[in-house]
Structure 1
Amino acid sequence: MSNKHPQNAKEFVANDERMHWHDQALWFVREKRDTSTKTIPEWEQLREHANSIKTHTMANLDKYLLEFEKNATAKGITIHWAKDAKEHNEIVEKILNQNSVKKVVKSKSMLTEECHLNPYLESKGFEVVDTDLGERIVQLRNEPPSHIVLPAIHLKKQDVSDTFHEKMGTQKGNYDPTYLTRAARADLRQKFLDADAGITGVNFAIANTGAIVVCTNEGNADMGANLPKLHIASMGIEKVIPRLEDLGVFTRLLARSATGQAITSYTSHFAGAVEGGQMHIIIVDNKRTPFLQSQKYQKALNCIRCGACMNTCPIYRRSGGHSYEYVIPGPIGSTLATFRDPKKHKTLSFACTLCGSCSHVCPVKIDLDSQLYNHRQDLTAQNIIDPKKKFAMKATSWLMSHPTLFDIAGKVARKVVPILPKSFIYNKANVWGKQRDLPQMPKNSFKELYKKGLEDDK
């Protein structure tokens, strides 16, 4: 239950050293993004154009999905439609069984994470190996990814070394990143050679060509899609774009927003099966269509999964991805999760300072801070939020709407708080007090200082 976010975040920040390096590591990525975008004079125009393409596509989604299906089918690709995660997983299982598959290699796909495909296939007797290095690390640790681009960002090299020693027999205590990477590469290469099928995600599905595009930095999607004779690609309905000409807009935005690179190391187009093989694409809804009917939240479907909003978010950087307990953490995950199940994810829209940094860096201009603010209003109207929070906010609102009483309360606080014993101030009810000291009370309020300033000017 992601209603545990406040408690999970509290546990994360309790380890001050971990919180600090996690925060700094992600801010380093954010700074790389800033440096990279400054090399593109037309950056804001690109963002605006991407937003326009996505908005147009969502308004005509049925048309472009059917066009994509027609053109992909003409290339010999088999198209499947899945209404939800259960149907998606059953389709994958059926295809694998029809081809007598036992061993599967899989590249990064947040949709398959969303559908919990790995545990489903493993329960049916299939061996499933994640081949993205970060995904492989967390798979060996039996953990979900904590970031959509940097799945193991919450781990140090010492953690990875210990995991590899336990699971792969590497040298104990060898924390050298080059050694660990080479060990993973050797292990994964054999997995690729032994695989009967490869499963990939889809970054973009091009309607007018029927091809899909997969972006990686490790080439693992290419290996998984080309070495076995069977390639299965899973995509959400929102991944389609109208034309091949539109692709360049998004590839210029994606890598720069994600890691500061000009482009991912591999931007691979798949337009049919390998010789003598099969290619299947599963187009999945899984509660996406309701977004199309919502004026306030429809733009959340524009997301291209770059992770920029996570890299800049002060809450995510200081509380970690696992604290959200949703497949996609951070600002975009908070709005997606809350829209899908407001009761289950009622705390996530409050895991936000409303600073607007996420909206500022989003390459497709999703109004993330506005959406999270709107979720708060909706939760309050539906009487879903914590009663204590609702009472506190109503009481604060009432007090601030009565200036005379607000002034009196301020004067009393400025005189009384300095003489109160610390045990009274820093009690169990004062959650903030466990991490922060109360600021020193000023002698005068801003209102009093302002009035005095006006009088001095006379």
Structure 2
Amino acid sequence: MSSTDLGMPAVAPRGVGHLRGEQSFPAAARIALADSQLRRNLGHATRTIRTKRASVVAELDDWEQLRLAGEALKTATMARLDEHLERLEEAVQARGGVVHWARDANEANAIVTRLVAATGESEVVKVKSMATQEIGLNEALEAVGITAHETDLAELIVQLGGDMPSHILVPAIHRNRAEIRDIFLREMPGVDPQLTTEPRRLAMAARAHLRERFLRAKVAISGANFGVADTGTLLVAESEGNGRMCLTLPDTLITVMGIEKVVPTWQDLEVFLQLLPRSSTGERMNPYNSAWTGVTPGDGPQTFHLVLLDNGRTAALADEMGRTALHCIRCSACLNVCPVYERAGGHAYGSVYPGPIGAVLSPQLTGVEDNASLPYASSLCGACFDACPVRIDIPSLLVRLRARHVDEQRSAHRVPSAEALSMAAAAWVMASPTRFAAAEKASRAARLLGRSAGRISALPPPLSAWTASRDAPRPPAETFREWWSRNRGTS
């Protein structure tokens, strides 16, 4: 493919890969909530990141202006995404790179595996990349006999532990230091058997393990935080320097980038490289910002391929409101403030994109019915919008996706669901002041159920579906109408 159609819902492919879970969110979350160690790990890590972020954000008097600028830049870019992508393709090719277009995860995996196989190599080193996690690239490479070595420390921990990432920025956030040490002792060849849980010792063990792989690898695979349309430049922001090793030492570099990551000009990075580090790691700037443009003779990889990934993004782009989820710069700020994520963790979401942004992005990439429970994985408290550096209105998107799910269920099933019947009954009662007043009085009978605890923790079916995951408040002894009549006269 040399080009792609954007904004065409009739032909836009649905996303495939690691975007769906085997269980619904409620079922998976129930298992996660039973793991007290997981909750302690998540609580400690998210509190630490929140505190750091608040400190560095408070240093900037123009933080809200930066957020507004980031939102405006993303909105303008999405409106002309096709033009920017074509300019990016032209600029990359003009500088010696090769551009490939992938409709979905299967096509992207086929492209990358073919490119690696053509080099004759049987192993690659990888920079941390959400896009390659999304498409399941490691598994695709393994299927054809190619070993992928993750080089980001957290991704390495996840890989060695036979695990899945649970956070956009800190994939091993669900692990504590003792668990990491045990993984290293069990899975890392030649590690010191006296390895302790001291962070420096753990990092040095990983460094020694990875250094050998860096020096022998001929092929590297990366993601990209941004792609600059004007110059064909790709940029990766990271904290450890492993990305710098992958982007300079190998002979061949293959970058997989979601099409929404493009920015029109270098000047746009001035905004995003202030927003991203403060919102993600609570730092004023990323320790390493690595940028590369095509091929430079005698310096760095001499073969460069860029794979531009759709995988459901044009379907999201076709929705004027839903496309705002594509503004995400993968900072993870929304995860770190979300009370639902902090208790359930990332694995409960099923998709490689967890937390509030995953709850709106994954259903749009796959189609709402393939991830119907995710839009309900929220209390709609709004903390995610307040934290988002590009002002994605996640709560409004969640409500919109819930409505879309209800509409699709209504059109797919002629027989009304129990929920639909309940809502219709409630609407009938509330439409009449007399009926509503009678229902209020009748509700006082439920006071007997909550007389000991002050709340109702169990109700008979079908109301048991509510109390299975939350308590119901005990009805008051006096209704509001009765209070008003007694204090202010007749109603």
Q: TM-score, normalised by structure 1?
A: 0.92
Residue matched to 2:214: 192
What is the one-letter code of the residue matched to 2:103?
K
Distance across 2 between alignment mates of 1:13 and 1:5: 12
Residue matched to 1:426: 458
What is the one-letter code of the residue matched to 1:108?
K
Q: Map 1:215-234; keep pairs closer than 5 Å.
A: 215-234=237-256
Q: Map 1:260-409; keep pairs closer than 5 Å.
A: 260-273=282-295, 275-276=297-298, 277-339=302-364, 340-383=366-409, 387-409=417-439
Distance across 1 between alignment mates of 2:100 and 2:27: 41
Residue matched to 1:245: 267
* Shift of residue 296, structure 1, vs aligned partner: 2.2
SS of the counterpart of 2:187? helix
Residue matched to 1:26: 46
Distance 1:265 1:377, change over 3 A: same
Distance across 1 between alignment mates of 2:192 and 2:468: 41
Distance 1:132 1:342, change over 3 A: same
Q: 8 Å contact 2:38–2:175 — kept in the other structure?
A: no
Distance 1:122 1:158, change over 3 A: same
* Shift of residue 436, structure 1, vs aligned partner: 5.9
What is the one-letter code of the residue matched to 2:339?
P
What is the one-letter code of the residue matched to 2:397?
Q
- State which of 25, 42, 46 in structure 2 corresponds to 1:5: 25
What is the one-letter code of the residue matched to 2:323?
Q
Distance across 2 between alignment mates of 1:24 and 1:408: 48
Which runs of 5 or more residues in structure 1 are unaligned?
A: none
Is 1:410 paired with 2:440?
yes
Distance across 2 between alignment mates of 1:172 and 1:5: 40
Distance across 2 between alignment mates of 1:163 and 1:396: 54
What is the one-letter code of the residue matched to 1:79?
V
Q: Map 1:157-236; keep pairs closer than 5 Å.
A: 157-168=177-188, 169-171=191-193, 174-236=196-258
Distance across 1 between alignment mates of 2:193 and 2:438: 67
Residue matched to 2:5: none
Q: Greater shift after overlay, 275-284 or 379-388?
A: 379-388
Residue matched to 2:142: 122
Distance across 2 between alignment mates of 1:53 and 1:300: 14
Distance across 2 between alignment mates of 1:8 and 1:131: 29
Distance 1:24 1:442, change over 3 A: farther
Show CA shifts across 1:386-410 (max 9, x none): 9344444444444444443333333
* Shift of residue 7, structure 1, vs aligned partner: 1.0
Is 1:443 paired with 2:484?
no
SS of the counterpart of 1:166? helix
Distance 1:445 1:30, change over 3 A: farther
Residue matched to 2:6: none
What is the one-letter code of the residue matched to 1:445?
T
Distance across 1 between alignment mates of 2:429 and 2:40: 37
* Shift of residue 172, structure 1, vs aligned partner: 6.8
SS of the counterpart of 1:382? helix
Q: Map 1:253-264; keep pairs closer than 5 Å.
A: 253-264=275-286
Q: Greater shift after overlay, 73-82 or 218-227?
A: 73-82
SS of the counterpart of 2:389? coil
Q: 8 Å contact 1:211–1:271 — kept in the other structure?
A: yes
Distance across 2 between alignment mates of 1:67 and 1:438: 56
Distance across 1 between alignment mates of 2:271 and 2:124: 33
Distance across 1 between alignment mates of 2:118 and 2:152: 26
Distance 1:387 1:185, change over 3 A: farther
* Shift of residue 183, structure 1, vs aligned partner: 1.0
- State which of 113, 117, 128 in structure 2 corresponds to 1:93: 113
Q: Greater shift after overlay, 336-345 or 426-435?
A: 426-435
Distance 1:162 1:389, change over 3 A: farther
SS of the counterpart of 2:254? strand
Alignment: residue pair count: 455
Q: 8 Å contact 2:41–2:174 — kept in the other structure?
A: no
Distance across 2 between alignment mates of 1:394 and 1:112: 45
Distance across 1 between alignment mates of 2:49 and 2:421: 39
- State which of 68, 91, 106 in structure 2 corresponds to 1:48: 68
Distance across 1 between alignment mates of 2:471 and 2:322: 38
Q: 8 Å contact 1:161–1:172 — kept in the other structure?
A: no
Distance across 1 between alignment mates of 2:433 and 2:40: 40
Show CA shifts across 1:339-382 (max 9, x none): 22222211111111112211221111112111110011111111
Q: Greater shift after overlay, 369-378 or 359-368?
A: 359-368
Q: Percent identity?
A: 38
Q: Greater shift after overlay, 284-293 or 104-113?
A: 284-293
Show CA shifts across 1:225-273 (max 9, x none): 1111111111111111111111110010011111211111111111133
Distance across 2 between alignment mates of 1:165 and 1:445: 63
Distance across 2 between alignment mates of 1:224 and 1:243: 25
What is the one-letter code of the residue matched to 2:337?
T
Distance across 2 between alignment mates of 1:411 and 1:250: 56
Distance across 1 between alignment mates of 2:314 and 2:434: 50
Which runs of 5 or more residues in structure 2 are unaligned?
A: 1-19
* Shift of residue 412, structure 1, vs aligned partner: 3.0
Show CA shifts across 1:171-229 (max 9, x none): 37833322222111111111111212111110011111111110000111110111111
Q: Greater shift after overlay, 193-202 or 410-419?
A: 410-419
What is the one-letter code of the residue matched to 1:78?
V
Q: 8 Å contact 1:256–1:262 — kept in the other structure?
A: yes
Residue matched to 1:105: 125
* Shift of residue 68, structure 1, vs aligned partner: 1.3
* Shift of residue 34, structure 1, vs aligned partner: 2.3
Q: 8 Å contact 1:418–1:441 — kept in the other structure?
A: no
